[in-house]
């Protein structure tokens, strides 16, 4: 109880600073509540005529908690429905800190998501039974102090060294999916693709849809995922962490869809690489290409702490041309 009171005190002080400093009002109270839809026209390498005009909505990084605004959720649903997608994909981090809060509220939101060819997802590092992060050594680890005030976390990231993922620690291997979240997704008709590929039958043509497990958790197994991939058909790959592109270069697929970075979140020079560390600095947002492999990095809908500077929450609409 004392720990929770201590954390709330930090949060209130942070909010007070944001208001009193004026410059903190936008990133703390305004930008995280905005929502922008970005549009991508994708030409499939071997896509038949029947797939032209097929529309996908990508969502990512909701980081749902009991504090998530119903108004914001309604805004998401409205924009998704306006798009009339054929397929909806979600690229990880449904929840925050591996905690499922206000289960009924999240279920109601997810049940509103529907598309003719379904709703599919991969999982992120917040969606397993323990919240996993990366230490200064580059080794993934279970975060022990989940109750730490986020302002303290910010300063820790700001002044720490390293933190680019290199390997999964022994304590992280073997972590299971967050059980309550798993049950909720099943009841909401969200199909999780973890190291597996399915083929969607679209107007008599096939589309590969491949989902990977999370990179930091050691659940990322492309050899297993691509066993049922049919390279004669085009394909979309779902992988939460964009750093996974370096392990996917030799595998097929027209486009990798990722999230995780929140678009850099604090997009100020010299700061963004402190808050979000990726193997390649380009892998923060938008359409990127690494050795001929295309990846789109969604800025996400939420974040681990509600503070965004020049990184407006995003929905992505992808249309095959």
- pLDDT tens digits, residue range 196-249? 999 999 999 999 999 999 999 999 999 999 999 999 999 999 999 999 999 999
Which one is predicted more confidently, 6 or 194? Answer: 194
pLDDT of residue 46: 79
Give residue-wise pLDDT tens across range 57-94: 999 999 999 999 999 999 999 999 999 999 999 999 99
Burial class (CB in 10 A: 0-12, 13-18, 19+), 305: buried
Query: pLDDT at residue 135 above 90?
Result: no
Q: Which among 202, 293, 285, 225 has a CA at the least distance from the CA of 254?
A: 293
* 282-301: average pLDDT: 95
pLDDT of residue 273 exceeding 70, the answer is no
Asked if residue 13 has pLDDT above 60, the reply is: no
CATH superfamily of 2-320: Metallo-dependent phosphatases (3.60.21.10)
CA dist., res. 301 & res. 309, Å (int): 14
Distance of CA 86 to the CA centre of its chain: 20
Q: Which residue has the higher pLDDT, 270 or 231?
A: 231
pLDDT of the residue at 163: 74
Checking if the pLDDT of 275 tops 70, the result is no
Domain boundaries defined on the chain:
2-320
Identify the band that residue 30 occupies on the pLDDT scale cut at 50, 70 and 90. Answer: confident
pLDDT at 157: 56
Residue 78 CA to residue 199 CA, distance in Å, equals 28
Total-model pTM: 0.89
Q: Is the pLDDT of residue 43 over 90?
A: yes
CB-CB contact of 317 with 51 (8 Å): no
| Cα(99)–Cα(131) distance, integer angstroms | 9
Q: Which residue has the tokens 């209130």?
A: 12
The pLDDT of residue 278 is above 70: yes
pLDDT exceeds 50 at position 5: no
3-state secondary structure of 150: helix
pLDDT digits (tens, 9 = 90+) for 139-185: 999 987 655 555 555 555 555 555 799 999 999 999 999 999 999 99
Is the confidence at residue 6, as pLDDT, over 70? Answer: no
Q: How many residues does the chain have?
A: 321
pLDDT at position 127: 98
SS3 content of the chain, % helix, strand, coil (to 5): 30, 25, 45
For the cut 50, the answer to whether the pLDDT of residue 3 exceeds it is no
Phi, psi of 266 (to 5 degrees): -110, 90
Q: What local confidence, expressed as pLDDT, does residue 28 receive?
A: 76
């Amino acid at each position: 109880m004392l720990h929770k009171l201590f954390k709330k005190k930090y949060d209130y002080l942070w909010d007070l600073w944001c208001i009193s400093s004026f410059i903190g009002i936008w990133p703390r109270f305004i930008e995280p509540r905005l929502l922008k839809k970005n549009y991508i026209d994708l030409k499939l390498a071997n896509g038949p005529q029947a797939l032209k005009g097929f529309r996908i909505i990508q969502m990512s990084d909701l980081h749902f908690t009991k504090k998530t605004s119903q108004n914001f959720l309604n805004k998401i649903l409205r924009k998704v429905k306006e798009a009339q997608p054929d397929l909806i994909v979600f690229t990880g981090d449904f929840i925050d800190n591996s905690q499922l809060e206000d289960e009924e509220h999240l279920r109601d939101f997810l049940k509103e998501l529907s598309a003719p060819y379904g709703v599919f997802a991969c999982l992120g590092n917040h969606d397993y039974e323990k919240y996993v992060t990366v230490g200064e050594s580059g080794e993934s680890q279970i975060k022990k102090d989940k109750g730490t005030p986020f302002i303290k976390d910010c300063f820790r990231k700001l002044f720490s060294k390293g933190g680019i993922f290199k390997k999964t620690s022994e304590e992280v291997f073997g972590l299971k999916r967050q059980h309550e979240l798993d049950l909720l997704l099943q009841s909401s008709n969200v199909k999780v693709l973890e190291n597996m590929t399915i083929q969607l039958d679209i107007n008599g043509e096939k589309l590969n849809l491949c989902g990977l497990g999370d990179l930091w958790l050691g659940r990322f197994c492309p050899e297993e995922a691509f066993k049922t991939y049919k390279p004669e058909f085009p394909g979309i790959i779902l992988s939460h962490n964009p750093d996974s592109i370096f392990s996917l270069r030799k595998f097929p697929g027209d486009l990798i869809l990722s999230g995780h970075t929140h678009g850099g979140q604090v997009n100020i020079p010299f700061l963004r690489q402190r808050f979000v560390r990726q193997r390649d600095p380009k892998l923060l947002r938008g359409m990127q290409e690494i050795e001929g492999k295309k990846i789109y990095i969604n800025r996400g809908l939420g974040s681990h702490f509600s503070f965004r500077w020049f990184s407006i929450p995003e929905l992505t609409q992808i249309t095959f041309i």
